[in-house]
Amino acid sequence: MARVAVVTGASSGIGAATAARLAKDGYHVVLAARRVDRLDALAERIGGRAARVDVTDPSSVREFAQGIESCDVLVNSAGGALGADPVATGEPSDWAAMFSVNVLGTLHVVQSLLPQLAAGGGGTVVNITSTAAFVNYEGGAGYSAAKHAQHALTETLRLELCGKPVRVIEIAPGMVRTDEFSLNRFRGDAERAAAVYADVDRPLSAEDVAECVALAVGLPQHVNVDQLVVRPLAQAAQHKVFRGPLFER
């Protein structure tokens, strides 16, 4: 029987790339998000199964989890940022939405799938947080606060599951150029979204992050990568981004 990987946020970006990457490693992948048309298309391509879920809605997650008989790997990639306003003028509803999807979304899915993860020979939870989970930046407080909280959830879960055969892994990417992340953050303002990556020689791709997930998941079950921070070479720290050519391809 193929091992089962559940990937949230699989309709785009890091989640979609991770679903495809884990399928390549032989997992039967359950692709979860709200946009089922996109999930269906990818599921067909990689031989997985699409399932609609709104991770912010506990009853949607409960219903979704009832359809998952076994789960060896859970990747929580559903998440994102909204706005880049300073604290003084930030929109509280944006903060609430970011907390809801990044933190409560992860919580709901973990709570609902833990029985399946703990039932087999050994389960693995991978939470995609961010370097914003550790470092703050101007205009990033709402997102950073949510990612700090998602990081706290992840560390606490690892402590609480100590003694059980379930690994808890945090992958914290820096700058990743995905199609929708910055566009959603800036509410469809393509120019502002593009400026994030302007002149950065090879920001991380979704596939780069998926490779890190596969690497951590592919290690023997007794090896727990607690935290993997991954950035593009051009980004030495949150505020230290080199914009210009780096090296020949």
Ligand X SMILES: NC(=O)c1ccc[n+]([C@@H]2O[C@H](COP(=O)([O-])OP(=O)(O)OC[C@H]3O[C@@H](n4cnc5c(N)ncnc54)[C@H](OP(=O)(O)O)[C@@H]3O)[C@@H](O)[C@H]2O)c1
Binding site for ligand X (CB under 6 A): 8-9, 11-15, 33-35, 53-56, 77-80, 101-102, 105, 128, 130, 173, 175-176, 178, 180-181, 184, 206
Whether 27 sits among the annotated catalytic residues: the reply is no
DSSP category for residue 196: H
| Strand arrangement, sheet containing 28-33 | 49-52, 28-33, 4-8, 73-76, 123-128, 166-173, 227-230
Q: How far is the CB of 177 from ligand X (least distance, A)?
A: 7
* Closer residue to ligand X in complex, CB, 122/208: 208
The span from the CA of 143 to the CA of 139, in Å, is 9
* Closer residue to ligand X in complex, CB, 123/203: 203
Q: In the complex, which residue's CB is closest to ligand X?
A: 13
Number of H-type helices and E-type strands within the chain:
9, 9
Q: How far is the CB of 6 from ligand X (least distance, A)?
A: 12
* Closer residue to ligand X in complex, CB, 93/164: 93
* Closer residue to ligand X in complex, CB, 4/104: 104
CA nearest to 131, candidates 231, 203, 207? 231
The span from the CA of 50 to the CA of 53, in Å, is 10
Question: What residue has token string 């990417």?
Answer: 173
- Residue 118 exposed, middle or buried by CB count within 10 Å (0-12, 13-18, 19+): middle
Q: How far is the CB of 121 from ligand X (least distance, A)?
A: 28
Q: How far is the CB of 87 from ligand X (least distance, A)?
A: 19
Q: So which residues are the catalytic ones?
A: 143
